[in-house]
A and B are shown apart, each in its own frame.
Chain A
Amino acid sequence: MISLRLKVDPLPIDEPLVVRLQAPGSPARTDHDAVLAEVAPDRREYDLNGFSFGVYGVSDEVIDGDVLMMMPGETTAHRLIRAGSAHNTLLVTEQCDQLCVMCSQPPKKYHADLFEQFTLAASLAPQGAVIGVSGGEPLLHKDRLFCMLEEVKARRPDIGFHVLTNAQHFSRADFERLQRLDHERVLWGVPLYSAIPENHDRIVGKPGAFANLEQGLSILMRAGASLELRTVVMQQNWQDLSALADYVSTRLNFLTVWAIMQLERIGYARMNWKDTFQDTSSDFDQIARAVDIATARGIKASLYNFPLCSVPPAYQDFAPSTISDWKRKYLDFCLNCRSKETCGGFFQWYSHTEGFEFLGPL
């Protein structure tokens, strides 16, 4: 499993410190570049503006170009950006105003504001990187979020963001700020679970959420923003999918992609698994209908987090590999599968005894 934290020597700092690790001999391009000075079996020593610190437990992994955040008094550093990965996500807050039945990252009450550090980290990312922004609900700290997006755009126009938000908190006052962002490089990932307002509200645990969401989506549309609509498939909305496809094709045909997603068995989803998980390997009909309706209407539908062998052959082209590298695993029978290269596999926390019934190598 890929490690998102690294053990480091504690540094004498009062504030969180963001550094980019550089290979030996690389020029330090900014004050935040630490250059590899010495390699011992379990320790790599870096030089940061004349100070040295050690990073431990990195064996063969390439960490050149990675961006770390070190916290005062702590001996583990957050690996905010892995230069070799396309799956970097900044968890900007753990607060949320919804309580979704399948939340993979259940909310917490308190917020530690690290936007300044995240802004710096994003600015140190490799050329053309797309960085995920997640929570909690990032828009609860809307001004800080916009500042981050704007500042990184000014410093590094090549960097893209994929922001996951419940779109509850956009207002008409945000319109101009939204419009000025680079729509080619900022993709808003917004969940919608049903076209029936009560069903959506029940799933997200917030009365009135659907109405707010419609307003938020309308603002995104008018601002010219790029939208990834995200629908997790559950027992709770299984019967709603074809009507949702119809809704999407009349209301939201500006979207870039409609992601129909399988469940991630962690957080509340693990707790509520038996009442939530829909085994789409035994019955795919409602997804097939949703994909057919969307496709006929010219809307790009995509199946996220579906092992390829759980999808009928006619729909496998709709299922790209989407599970992040550090969350991904394969099962025993995957060894003999000829589609392993193109399949995203399973979440680390997937349990096959409670999972899909009809799987096997392709």
Chain B
Amino acid sequence: MSDTERTGAAGVLTSLHGWGRTAPSTARVLTPRSAAEVAAAVAAAGPRGIIARGLGRSYGDPAQNAGGTVLDMTGLATIHEIDAERGRAVVDAGVSLDSLMRAALPHGLWLPVLPGTRQVTVGGAIGADIHGKAHHVVGSFGNHVESLDLVTADGRVRTLTPDGEDAELFWATVAGMGLTGVITRATLRLHHVETAYFTVDTEQIDNLDELMARQTEGDERYAESVSWFDAVTTGKHFGRGLLTRANHATLAELPLKLRADPLRFDAPQLLTVPDIFPPGMLNRVTGKLFSELWYRKSPTRFGAIQNITQFLHPLDVAGEWNRGYGPRGFLQYQFVVPPERGDVIRTVLERMTAAGQVSALNVLKRFGEGSRAPLSFPRPGWTLCVDIPIGAGVGPLCDELDGIVLDAGGRHYLAKESRTTAAAIRRGYPRLDEWRKVRDAVDPAGVFTSDMARRLQLHG
């Protein structure tokens, strides 16, 4: 974004896309340095509106705004305060979870909700109400926000709290995909930890049914739980995978050599993936190879000590890994279905396999209780997340999967969503109208908008 810095307040026309590298559009990008500059940009927004953008990790189009303005929030990235005693952090919206973790860990503080990458901003984490492997215990990101500052369409900066006067607007902003205003600052509640390590139990399980049964059993004993499985292996080993569950390691559990520096943040980025891959890199052969390696790398083992990268963010060692899917990009299909509809997981995977999709790495988790936010994605049940490279037939296949998911009472995750219909979102989110009412009241002219909002008709 160095171009933006050079051109200053006028912004620069930039083609933007999401992490899936699909459906680009062009917008004027501004990089505000203060809440006042955000308010000025909001006031100056033209007829095609304005939206905030963080680190661009949403897969689809929620952080792009064709013909309008996009605020690059990474210019607002100060960590104002970390209160070790009370476990609080006051940060700007553009602070990444990575830099917050690096600053908080030396104080023995841990972010309770960490998604599959730390390269997301606090503002984005609130706007999408992200979740992590600890969801069954701690819920989603919005549950840990004590207050947030929101620049609304009228140019005011409002401080919102979950139970205060503006509680409705607070919860419409959590998971509100940036459509209520621009979050500029937040106070977050952090957890106290003794070490930066996990004690990890890994179980190799050789079919999907058993994997799901095992995961249903003991999750309450663990702070973190997720399984990875492949859908390349067919027959009775269909859905074989790894169930990994963990708790934060106490000081006493660490081996001696790690005790010297128990809060060390061990998160190397080993490489940046170059932009050289042709479409179709992921095929039956490479998919099979990858799933084999992934499965074999982790035999069943209990009580292993792992650092944050090993356990939480294995993909963060490779920067820009989305380039591996080639120029046509990919989509991530993530949905949740009620606990009694675990059968949908198998149905969806079988449909994908039958359609010739190679899904080498699928992430499965059981969610705990949902949030108060009307558009929050998590709800009790199973959530599955699969990567699908863009190619012939992918559109109709996903439309078919939508039907299966929605018929089971499920829904899609807006932070991953890039191709469904307005009707599908309406069906999946029965509280959409409740959210819209709050949104329309605070932004009657529809100043805040995005490609996603237009595509899915999120606002009226």
Asked if A pairs with B, the answer is no
A residues contacting B by CB (< 8 A) are none
B residues contacting A by CB (< 8 A) are none
